[in-house]
Structure 1
Amino acid sequence: MSQFAKITAIEYVLPVKTLSNEDLARDFPEWNVDKIFSKTGINNRQIAGVSECASDLAFQACDKLLNAIDLDRSAIDFIILCTQSPDYFLPATACILQDRLGLSTQCGAFDFNQGCSGFIYGLGIAKGLIETGQAKNIVLVTAETYSKYIHPADKSVRTLFGDAAAATLIQAVSGGPFIDRFRYGTDGAGAKNLIVPIGGARNPGSVNTAPALYTDDSGNVRTDANLYMNGSAIFEFSMTRIPELFSSIFDEYFTLDDVDLFAFHQANKFMLDSLRRRIKLPIEKFISEFEHCGNTVSSSIPIALKESMEKGVLTTGKTVVGVGFGVGYSWAGCIIKW
C-alpha cells in the first residue's frame, strides 16, 4: 500500500524576552507606537537571550511536540532543521538536536540553510523521504535567532523580525496525497538585497578589528556584520514572483474554490495586504498571525497554521495553500490537506 506524507502535529515556542512597540518608540522617538503598528501590523517580537541559540529554541519546540504526541521518541527516524543562524559552522545543529532530544542513533539528521521559504522546502524534502520509503516519522524544525544579526539602531529590520522555533511532525499515512503540487523558484541575483555581508568564508572579517559603523539614507545604523535588507527591492520581487508562483499551483483540476485557507509567509502587514489585493484573495480565507511575534522567518507559516488550529479556523478536511518567499531570493508553494 502506498504511503503519503501528512502533517499530523505542530508546536512552537517563542523566547521569553519581548520587544514591544513601546520599547521601539522609546529607542526611535520619530516613530510612535501607532505608526509602528500601522506599517508592520506587529505589536510584539520575542527576542532570544544573549546565550540563547537557535538550537535552544529548536530543542524546546521539539520537546514540546514530542511530549504532546502519542509516539515514542525511538520512532522518529529523521530530523530536519531549517536555520540561517546555526550554533556552529560545523557540525550540523540537527545532529546536536538528535542527541539532546534522546532520539535513536538510527535517526537521520541534517540542516538546510533557507529563510522565509524554508518551511515549504522542508515539507517537500519530507515528502520525498517518506514517499520513497526512506522514513516514516519526520520532525521538521524551523528555528531562527535573526535578532543576533540586527544592529539595535537599525529600525528598518528591528521593527519586523522576531525569534522563534517550530516543530512539525510529518508522518507516513495512507489515503493521500496530503502535501502536493510543490512549486519552487530561485533568483540568486537578489542575494545582495537580504544579507549579512561578513562572517562567512567569503568575507570572514577580522577578529581583531570591529567592522565599521555606517548610516544609510534612511538613518538606519549597522555594520557589515549585521543584517541588511533592501526593503523596496524585496517588495518588488515579492509583487512580481509570488503572484506568478501562486497561479502556477492551479489548473482545471485544482481551483481557488478548492482552497479553504491561504497561509503565506507572515512577513508584515503591508506586504501581505499588498499580495492579497494583487492576487485578489478573500480576506476571510487569508491567515494573518504575526501581530504577537513578528516576522519569524521560516517559522512564520507553521506558527500561523498552529494558531489557526488553536482558534478552530483550521480543522480536519480543510485545504491550505502555503506560500513562502524571501531571502535568496527564494520562493516556494504547495497545497496542504489537513
Structure 2
Amino acid sequence: MSTKALIQAISYYLPRYQLDNAIIEAQFPEWSIDKISEKTGIDNRHIAASGETSGDMAVKAAEKLFEEHSIDRSTIDYLIVCTQSPDHFLPTTACIVQEKLGLKTSVGAFDMNLGCSGFVYGLGLAKGLVVSGQAKNVLLITSETYSKFIHPMDKSNRTIFGDAAAATLISSEHGFAEIGDFEYGTEGKGAENLIVKNGALRSPITEKEAVIDEYGNYNSDNHLYMNGTEIFLFTLESVPKLISRTVTKNNLNKDNIDLFILHQANRFMLQSLQKKCKIPNSKFYIKMDHCGNTVSSTIPIALYHAQNEKRIEKNKTILLAGFGVGYSWAGTILKTF
C-alpha cells in the first residue's frame, strides 16, 4: 500500500504591534481608510518588533501548533523553514529553530528561500519526504518579516504587507486532507519586478538616498521594490494556466473543485483572477483583512480560518495556488476526508 502525505494541523502567529488603516491614513492623508480597504481588502497588518526575527516567529508558530493540536514534538523528524528574511546568511534559520523548539537531533532541517509560492512548494517537498519514506512527520514553517525591507515612506508596500509565521504538520499517519499532485513554474526574467536588490553578495548595502516614484512612494535599492503593474500582468497571465494545469494533473475538471484558496495578495488581484477564471463566490475564499499579505503564510492562514468557518468539510476538493516573487508559482489539490 502506497504511503500518503496528509495535512494534520495548522497554526499561525502574528506579531503584537498592529498597523491599521487609521495609522496609515494619519501618515498619508491622501490614502484614506475607505480607499485602502476597498482596493486591498486589508484593514490591519501585524508588524514584527525591531528585535523580532523570522526565526523567533517560526518558533512561536510551532509552539502554538504543538499546544493547539496536542502534538508531541518528539514525533517531528523533519523541519523545513521557508523564509526570505532569514536570521543570518548562515547558519540556516531551521537549525536555530530546531534547537529553540527542542526537536530531537536526528531531524533533518533546512531553509528554503521562496516567497508567495513557498507554502505550496513546501508541501511538495514535504510530500516527497513522506512518500519516499524519509520522514513520517514534517514540520513546515513559513515565516516572513517583509516589513523590515520596506521603506517607512513607501505607502504602497506598507499598505499591503504584514508579518506572520505559520506552522503546518504534514504526516504519513494522521490528517484531515491528502495532498495531491503538483504543478510548478518559474520565470526568472521577472526577478527585478519584486526584489530587495541590495544586501546580499551581488549588491552590498549602499548609502544612496531613496527616490520618490510617480505615486509618491519612497524607495531605494536597499528596500523592497515592487512593480505592481508587471506583477499584476504576470499574475493574470500565469495563474489561470496554473489552475487549469493543476486540475488536469490531478485528473479533475474545474467543476470538481469545491474551494479555491489562492495566495492572498490583495483583494483587487484576487477578484480579477476570480473573474477571469469564472469561479463563483461560493467556491472562492478570501481571508486577509486582519493581517494583510503575509507572503508564504497567506495560504496556511486562509486554510486555518476556512476550517474554523466550516468552509472545509469532509469529502471536499480544495485547490491551492501560490504565485509571486521569482517569478515563481505552484499549485496542488487537497482532498479532505
Question: Would the TM-score normalized by the shorter structure come out above 0.5?
Answer: yes
> Cα gap change, 1:77/1:50 in structure 2, threshold over 3 Å: closer, same or farther?
same
When structure 1 is superposed on structure 2, of 272-281 and 311-320 the one drifting more is: 311-320
String of CA shifts for 1:161-202, please: whole Å, max 9, x gaps: 000000000000389992112000000000000000100100
**Corresponding residue for residue 81 of structure 2:** 81
Q: Which runs of 5+ in 2 are unaligned?
A: none
Conserved? CA contact 1:4–1:177, under 8 Å: no
Question: What letter corresponds to residue 245 of structure 2 in structure 1?
Answer: S
From 236, 244, 249, the equivalent of 1:239 is: 236
Does the residue aligned with 2:143 lie in a helix, a strand or coil? strand
Q: Determine the C-alpha separation between the residues in 1 that align with 2:35 and 2:69.
A: 42
**Corresponding residue for residue 50 of structure 2:** 50
Q: Determine the C-alpha separation between the residues in 2 that align with 1:144 and 1:53.
A: 8
> Cα gap change, 1:159/1:177 in structure 2, threshold over 3 Å: closer, same or farther?
closer
**Corresponding residue for residue 278 of structure 1:** 276
**Corresponding residue for residue 111 of structure 1:** 111
**Corresponding residue for residue 256 of structure 2:** 258
Shift of 1:70: 3.9
From 286, 310, 317, the equivalent of 1:319 is: 317
**Corresponding residue for residue 306 of structure 1:** 304
When structure 1 is superposed on structure 2, of 123-132 and 70-79 the one drifting more is: 70-79
Conserved? CA contact 1:143–1:165, under 8 Å: yes
Question: What letter corresponds to residue 19 of structure 1 in structure 2?
Answer: L
**Does residue 222 of structure 2 align to residue 225 of structure 1?**
yes
Q: Determine the C-alpha separation between the residues in 2 that align with 1:28 and 1:77.
A: 48
Q: Determine the C-alpha separation between the residues in 2 that align with 1:300 and 1:194.
A: 17
Conserved? CA contact 2:261–2:299, under 8 Å: yes
Conserved? CA contact 1:61–1:166, under 8 Å: yes
Q: Determine the C-alpha separation between the residues in 2 that align with 1:288 and 1:176.
A: 21
Does the residue aligned with 1:142 lie in a helix, a strand or coil? strand
**Corresponding residue for residue 65 of structure 2:** 65
> C-alpha root-mean-square deviation of aligned residues, in Å?
1.5
Shift of 1:316: 3.0
Conserved? CA contact 2:7–2:175, under 8 Å: no
> Cα gap change, 1:292/1:135 in structure 2, threshold over 3 Å: closer, same or farther?
same
Conserved? CA contact 2:8–2:175, under 8 Å: no
**Corresponding residue for residue 211 of structure 1:** 208
Conserved? CA contact 1:21–1:44, under 8 Å: yes
Does the residue aligned with 2:247 lie in a helix, a strand or coil? coil
**Corresponding residue for residue 191 of structure 2:** 191
**Corresponding residue for residue 41 of structure 1:** 41
Does the residue aligned with 1:178 lie in a helix, a strand or coil? strand
> Cα gap change, 1:27/1:175 in structure 2, threshold over 3 Å: closer, same or farther?
closer
Conserved? CA contact 2:318–2:333, under 8 Å: yes
String of CA shifts for 1:115-155, please: whole Å, max 9, x gaps: 00000000000010000000000110000000000011111
Conserved? CA contact 1:3–1:174, under 8 Å: no
Shift of 1:38: 1.0
Q: Determine the C-alpha separation between the residues in 2 that align with 1:211 and 1:52.
A: 26
> Cα gap change, 1:238/1:334 in structure 2, threshold over 3 Å: closer, same or farther?
same
When structure 1 is superposed on structure 2, of 302-311 and 212-221 the one drifting more is: 212-221
Q: Determine the C-alpha separation between the residues in 2 that align with 1:83 and 1:68.
A: 23
Question: What letter corresponds to residue 271 of structure 1 in structure 2?
Answer: M
Conserved? CA contact 1:7–1:171, under 8 Å: yes
Shift of 1:34: 0.5
Conserved? CA contact 1:151–1:222, under 8 Å: yes
**Corresponding residue for residue 334 of structure 1:** 332
**Corresponding residue for residue 157 of structure 1:** 157
Conserved? CA contact 1:40–1:268, under 8 Å: yes
When structure 1 is superposed on structure 2, of 123-132 and 214-223 the one drifting more is: 214-223
> Cα gap change, 1:175/1:218 in structure 2, threshold over 3 Å: closer, same or farther?
closer
Conserved? CA contact 1:19–1:46, under 8 Å: yes
Shift of 1:72: 2.2
Question: What letter corresponds to residue 99 of structure 1 in structure 2?
Answer: E
Does the residue aligned with 2:5 lie in a helix, a strand or coil? strand
String of CA shifts for 1:56-82, please: whole Å, max 9, x gaps: 111010011112334421110001000
Shift of 1:253: 3.5
Q: Determine the C-alpha separation between the residues in 2 that align with 1:219 and 1:175.
A: 48
Q: Determine the C-alpha separation between the residues in 2 that align with 1:216 and 1:28.
A: 15
Does the residue aligned with 1:250 lie in a helix, a strand or coil? helix
Question: What letter corresponds to residue 80 of structure 2 in structure 1?
Answer: I
Q: Determine the C-alpha separation between the residues in 1 that align with 2:318 and 2:297.
A: 16
Q: Which runs of 5+ in 1 are unaligned?
A: none
Equivalences for residues 88-107 of structure 1 within 5 A? 88-107=88-107
Q: Determine the C-alpha separation between the residues in 2 that align with 1:162 and 1:331.
A: 21
Shift of 1:223: 1.8
> Cα gap change, 1:43/1:176 in structure 2, threshold over 3 Å: closer, same or farther?
closer
Question: What letter corresponds to residue 317 of structure 1 in structure 2?
Answer: N
How many pairs does the alignment contain? Answer: 335
